[in-house]
Structure 1
Amino acid sequence: MAYTIQTTSTGDFDRLVDATIDALESEGFGVLCDIDVQATLEEKLDEEFRQYRILGACNPSLALAGLNEEIELGALLPCNVIVYETDDGEIAVSAVNPAQLVGIADNDALGPIATDVRERFERVLESVGDGSGGSSDT
Structure 2
Amino acid sequence: MSYTLNKQVRGSFDEVVEQTTEALSDEGFGVLCDIDVQQTLKEKLDEDFRRYQILGACNPQLAHQALEEEIQLGTLLPCNIIVYETEDNSVGVSAVDPEVLLSVVDNPELDQIATDVRNRFGHVLDELPQA
TM over 0.5: yes
Aligned match of 1:42: 42
Query: Is the Cα–Cα contact under 8 Å of residues 83 and 92 in structure 1 kept in the other structure?
Result: yes
Aligned partner letter, 1:14: D
2:99 matched to 1:103? no
Give unmatched runs, 5+ long, in structure 2: none
Counterpart amino acid of residue 105 in structure 2? A
1:38-84, Cα deviation, whole Å (9 max, x unpaired): 00011111111000000000000000010011111000000000000
In 2: Cα distance, 1:41 partner to 1:89 partner: 19
State how far apart, in whole Å, the 1-side matches of 2:47 and 2:25 are: 32
Distance of 1:96 and 1:129 partners within structure 2: 19
Q: Is the 8 A contact 1:7 1:129 kept in 2?
A: no
Are positions 1:26 and 2:41 aligned together?
no
Q: Judge conservation of contact 1:29–1:59 (CA < 8 Å) in 2.
A: yes
Alpha-carbon distance in structure 2 between the residues aligned to 1:43 and 1:117:
34
Give the conservation status (yes or no) of the 8 Å contact 1:3–1:100: yes
CA distance in 2, matches of 1:129, 1:85: 15
Q: Which residue of 2 aligns with 1:135?
A: none
Instruction: Give the share of equivalent positions with the same residue, in percent.
Output: 59
The 1-side partners of 2:15 and 2:50 are apart by: 16
Equivalent residue letter for 1:19: Q
Q: Which residue of 2 aligns with 1:63?
A: 63
**TM superposition outliers: structure 1 runs of 4+ over 6 Å:** none
Give 5+ residue unaligned stretches, structure 1: 133-138
The amino acid across from 2:29 in the alignment is F
Q: CA RMSD in A?
A: 0.8
Supply the distance in 1 between the matched residues of 2:127 and 2:4 (Cα, whole angstroms). Answer: 17
* Aligned ranges 1:115-134 → 2 under 5 Å: 115-130=115-130, 132=131
SS across alignment from 1:32 = strand
Q: TM-score, normalised to structure 1's length?
A: 0.93
- Residues 5-33 of structure 1: per-residue CA shift (max 9 Å, x gap): 01111221001101000000000000000
